[in-house]
Amino acid sequence: MGDFDGQIAVITGGARGIGAEIARRLAAGGAHVVCADLLDTTEIVAEITAAGGSAEGRPLDVTDGEVAAATIQEIHGTHGRLDILVNNAGITRDQLLVRMKPQDWDLVLKINLDGVFLVTQPAAKIMMRQRSGRIVNIASVVGLMGNGGQTNYASSKAGLIGFTKALARELGPRNVTVNAVAPGYIQTAMTDALTDEQREALMKSVAIPRLGTATDVADAVAFLAGPGASYITGTVVNVSGGLYM
């Protein structure tokens, strides 16, 4: 028996990186996972299925509200329930504020924050009627502590934390919890671009001197989505090795 047997979980940006690892983790716990992404999800779906799990892929651009609502409704129509939503899709377009192009400001806010609104609204309606559900938003420690060169990204993630707390208050009475996970520096395509000097400086600023892994983040998500977290809502779980305390 897994913690998520019989449950339906949707993971945005679930094709690769942290989102794919969350999909593997929830599927290993028995959930049927829906990886919804701009990218092709064939590979992750085949991998999970080959490992004995249950998965499907859906093409989704989280900034398209009509498609987002239709996708969530279709998933609910097919499976008859929706138990877990992980808002993981996110991007960076780093630049110092004085050089930042307005389109890079807009795009980061549009995907990282507007996209969460557009996917969560139809999912929340279903979970409210169902009288159960778990929503986990992937924020960032940058939304808590700031980071030079990331005013757009930090604003989107700080906004996501505010969204998490406000929605937790709205949905608590319907037995739906809403929490955020704030990763620090995690080994993915996003951090592969760090130079050796940046990596060395980073190791001096974390209490646990290594990059985090996607599994570290997926474990926190699984806890918040699992049976042990039924009285936890509106929190931010910091998975940063002590980068932010």
Q: Which residues are catalytic?
A: 153
Exactly one of 8, 11, 17, 84 binds ligand NDP (CB under 6 A); that residue is: 17
Q: Does 61 bind ligand NDP (CB under 6 A)?
A: yes
As measured in angstroms, the least distance from the Cβ of 70 to ligand NDP is: 14
Contact map string, positions 194 to 233, toward ligand NDP, x by CB under 6 A? ----------------------------------------
DSSP β-bridge partners for residue 238: 182
Q: Does 145 bind ligand NDP (CB under 6 A)?
A: no
Q: Does 111 bind ligand NDP (CB under 6 A)?
A: yes
Contact map string, positions 23 to 42, toward ligand NDP, x by CB under 6 A? --------------xxx---
Exactly one of 27, 31, 62, 237 binds ligand NDP (CB under 6 A); that residue is: 62
DSSP β-bridge partners for residue 34: 10, 56
What is the Cα–Cα distance from 214 to 100, expressed in whole angstroms?
Answer: 29
What is the Cα–Cα distance from 2 to 9, expressed in whole angstroms?
Answer: 14
Exactly one of 67, 69, 70, 91 binds ligand NDP (CB under 6 A); that residue is: 91
Q: Using CA of residue 153, residue 166, residue 222, residue 32, what is the dihedral sign?
A: negative
Q: Does 180 bind ligand NDP (CB under 6 A)?
A: no
Q: Does 70 bind ligand NDP (CB under 6 A)?
A: no
Exactly one of 13, 57, 133, 241 binds ligand NDP (CB under 6 A); that residue is: 13
> Toward ligand NDP, which CB reaches closer, 52 or 66?
66
Exactly one of 54, 63, 213, 215 binds ligand NDP (CB under 6 A); that residue is: 63
Count of residues that bind ligand NDP according to CB under 6 A:
29
Q: Does 237 bind ligand NDP (CB under 6 A)?
A: no
Query: Where does this chain bind ligand NDP (CB under 6 A)?
Result: 12-13, 15-19, 37-39, 60-63, 88-91, 111, 115, 138, 140, 183, 185-186, 188-191
